[in-house]
Structures are given as structure tokens and as C-alpha cells.
Amino acid sequence: MATQTAVSDRNLESFRGELLLPTSPGYDAARRIWNGAIDRRPACIARCIGAADVVAAVRFAREHDLEIAVRGGGHNVAGTAVCDDGVVIDLSAMQAVSVDPAGRTAWVQGGALWGDVDHETQAHGLATTGGIVGHTGVAGLTLGGGIGFLMRKHGLVVDNLLAAEVVTAEGRIVHASADEHADLFWALRGGGGNFGVVTSFRFSLHPVGPTVIAGPVFWAADDTADVLRFYRDFAADAPDELGTVVTLGTVPPLPAIPEDLHWRPSITVACCYAGAVEDGERAVGALRRFGTPLLDLLGPSSYAAFQGGVDDTVLHGWHYYWKATSLPGLSDDAIAVMADHAHAAGSPRSYAAMFHMGGAVGRVPPEATAYAGRDVAHNIVIDAVVLPEESGEHAAAEAAWARRFLKALQPHSGGGVYVNFLDSDDDSSRVREAYGDEIYRRLAEVKAKYDPDNVFHLNKNIRPD
Ligand SMILES: Cc1cc2nc3c(=O)[nH]c(=O)nc-3n(C[C@H](O)[C@H](O)[C@H](O)COP(=O)(O)OP(=O)(O)OC[C@H]3O[C@@H](n4cnc5c(N)ncnc54)[C@H](O)[C@@H]3O)c2cc1C
């Protein structure tokens, strides 16, 4: 209550955005994030419209000793974008994307979503590596490293990050790049939201499409082991232009898919070829000819439409719980575990998604950025998903499925995990595992310099050195 008094006493009077208190209309909608299992009640949601608002909100929270949560796209499964009692610095009104087509760069505000970036950059036939779901936030995804279909050709999202505007824990606006605050710039490229609030990112862009060879091929779940064994060799020989993601789950009930296939247990390989259409057709030929697909939707597609193609399969408000690990390769034993566990989930919405790494990702020196795991072959995330009305026992059973699946995979994992795939409480001890000792040590040093009091701690926390 003291907080509410402080806020309504207009201590935030230099703030030009919208302040939402528990009594404000719109407060309940504003505190909701993508994961419907998260239900937190902040004292104040500061919906910023510029860096100056972020400065005001950081200073206000610090003066009143309030916790700070930072919301980019609101997609982190752990729900760290929102807190109980404290201040949410909400960037959802800051979604502008400004493209310099001649220089092939774009400035992107800290609350933008990947759909915003793809839409604006594709108007110029350009793109940068981004997430595979259009409604995911640019900020959180970038700060953890950023993996997506274009990464094998154009590098991780952080490999395309040229500069960032950051509001520090002191409430100062600084620019980070290779030339300014280089230590901070290094840490922002993988170290998550530990170092300040990023109000704008500047990315390099590349010619992509607008028409590319892209889309999914589906096979029946019974074919899982055969498809994965084929995929292991197919992926190992794939050119850098070819990005692939395997999904083990069910056929989604999308309009482009015949109704009799909806929810059918399946294995899917989704592809996107970042190069000429004819070359892409050749590169995916063997995959399309393998076995007897249930459905083949791989072909020429607008890149932007492909990137938004699965947006409706992971809806806001459903309840999500994740487990993840990195894989050094796809051994026969790892494939057997996947075939045994993937389709044992109780909910047709649960799935596992496996990203093929390598290519340009592995050619950046490991010390160049704070992203760990450049030598990983595949990142897998196991997603237990239930409807809100299925929370409780059903959700607990799904979470147990995800944990069993992970436990069975762990003997075949290379150690390490992608930090952006970590869930909440039972994963917080894995932050060190995600970075490894050397990167964690460097991150802790930068944290001690820019946020010695650990003001930004609602994240995959790096403790100040
Ligand atoms: C449906 C879905 C698809 C996904 N696909 C991919 C994918 O293809 N590739 C991939 O790499 N990851 C993917 N992810 C994981 C994703 O990277 C993380 O969930 C990420 O945290 C999302 O960022 P956000 O801004 O939406 O999240 P938020 O929940 O808003 O933010 C997460 C954390 O990031 C920090 N943060 C957010 N904004 C800022 C900011 N402006 N400045 C400083 N810190 C900030 C805060 O610590 C915050 O707690 C996916 C997630 C989902 C839910």
C-alpha cells in the first residue's frame, strides 16, 4: 500500500507513458503475460514510451526500494517480466522498427516483437535472424543469444547486434557497441536482462526472400525414430542456408491443414532456406522424398508469412512449463529416448522442439560474445502445455512428463542448456550450467560494474562478482 501511495503521490511525475495501478482500468490485462500460469500483481506497471520514462521508472523504483521486473515481449516462460508488489517496466508501447535499407541496418525498440521486425525489414527484402514465433519479444530473445531459422547462414541474433541503448541500474542512458562500453556490449550478447533495460537495439540486416523455400513436412508419430535417423544425416550435410526445426508433438489445427489430420501425433521438420528458391528446392528434395509424409507444405513462401506461420499454435494464456538441454549430436540412444517419450504426453498441445545449430553460429569465437554453446549440435526444449481450465492435476502430470523426458535425455546431452529455454524455480540452479564457468565469471564482473546491487535480478540471474 505504501507503494500505491508513493505512486499516486506523483513521485513519478516526469513519466509520460501510462501508469497502471491495481485500481486502474486495464491493470489486469496489463499484468498478464504469454504464460497464463503466471499470475502476479505488481504495485505499478510503468508503460514507458521512451528511454526517459525508463529512467524515471528505474529511479522511482530504486528510491522506494521496490523490485523491478522488465517486460519486453512478455514471453519468458518463467514469467520474469512481471513481479508481485514491485514495478514492472513495461516496454510494450515501444515497438517501433526503423530500417536503413542502404546501410542494411535497423533500429528496433525494446518492446518490439519479431513479427514487427520481419514485417518492416521484409518491406525492403531484408531480414535478420529472429525467433520462430512472431509474437515473441525481440528484447528477451536477443539478450539470451537468439536462435532461429537464419542463424546457420547469418549467425545468432546477437551476432547481428551492432549497438544498444541501455538504461543502467543508476538510471543513466548509455550506448553500448564495439566502441562504447565494450564490456557491457559483450555481456548484452547472451547475458540476458542482467545489465540494464535495453530501450533500442541496432541490428545488421541481410537480403532474404521475400520468397523463400520454407514450410513443414509432417510424418506420423510411429515414424519418429526413422525420420530422426534420416534427419541426423540430412542435417549434418545441410548447407548453411538451410535452417531446420524438428517438432515432436501433434499436427496443429491450422486452416492450411486438412481437418482429418488435426491433432494427429506426428513428427515435423520445418525448413527455411535463406537463399535462391531453386537452390532451396534442391536442398530440401531428399527430406520431402523420405518415407511417407502425412503432409508436405514445404515450398515457395513469403518469408514473413512463414515466420508467422505457427503463431496460433502457442497461444497467449495457455499454461506452459519447459525443460531443455543441449545435444552434442543425435545418437541412436538419444533418438530412442525421443521416440519413447515425445508422444507420451497427456495433452495434445505439449511438444518438444529441436533446433539445428552449427553453420555460422559455430564460426564465431566462443569468447566474442556471452552466448555459450556455439559447439552444440541441437538445442531441444520440451514444452508441457495445458489449457487454463486444465491447471492443477493435469498440468502437474504434463510437467512430470517434461521432467521425465529431460531426465531420460540427459545422459545423451552434452551438458549445457540455452539460457532462454530455462524455466523458473527448478531451473534457477542451471544458470551456471547455461554459461559455463568462464563466461559466468566474466558476466559477474560486468554485473558488478553496471549493477553492483543486483537491481535487475528478476531474470536468469548473474550475481555481481
Ligand atoms: C512461443 C515462443 C517461441 C520462442 N521461440 C524462440 C526462438 O525461436 N528462438 C529463441 O532464441 N528463443 C525463443 N523463445 C524463447 C525466448 O527467447 C524467451 O522466452 C525470451 O525471454 C522472450 O523474450 P521476451 O522479450 O518476449 O520476454 P520477456 O518475458 O518480456 O523478458 C524476459 C526477460 O528478459 C529481460 N528483458 C526483457 N526485455 C528487456 C529489455 N528491453 N531490456 C533488458 N532486459 C529485458 C528481462 O530480464 C525479462 O525478465 C521462444 C519463446 C516462446 C514463448
pLDDT digits 0-9 by tens, 397-411: 999 999 999 999 999
Q: Which atom of ligand 1 sits closest to the CA of residue 135?
A: 1
446 C-beta closer than 6 A to ligand 1 = no
198 lines ligand 1 (CB under 6 A): yes
- Cβ of 148 closer than 6 Å to ligand 1, yes or no, is yes
Q: Which whole-number Å values give the CA distances from 140 to 31, 146, 178, 232, 446, in the listed order?
A: 17, 9, 21, 30, 18
Cα 303 to ligand 1 centroid, rounded to whole Å: 22
What pLDDT score does 414 carry?
82
d(CA 274, CA 173): 36
At residue 8, does pLDDT exceed 60?
no
Residues 6+ apart with CB under 8 A from 237: none
- Cis peptide bond N-terminal to 25, omega within 30: no
Give this prediction's pTM: 0.97
Instruction: Please report, rounded to a whole number, the percentage of residues in the chain having pLDDT higher than 70.
Output: 97
C-alpha of residue 81 to centroid of ligand 1, in Å: 9
What pLDDT is recorded for position 1?
44
- In the chain, the percentage of residues whose pLDDT exceeds 90 is 95
By the 8 A CB rule, do 28 and 177 touch? Answer: no
pLDDT-derived band at 3 (thresholds 50, 70, 90) equals: low
Average pLDDT over every residue of 412-440: 88
Asked if the model's pLDDT at residue 13 lies above 80, the reply is no
Average pLDDT over residues 305-320: 97
176 CA distance to ligand 1 centroid (A)? 20
Give 141's pLDDT tier (boundaries 50, 70, 90): very high
Q: What distances in angstroms separate CA 255 from CA 225, 250, 270, 312, one per listed residue?
A: 28, 15, 17, 10
Secondary structure in 3-state letters for 227-286: HHHHHHHHHHCCCCCEEEEEEEEECCCCCCCCHHHCCCEEEEEEEEECCCHHHHHHHHHH
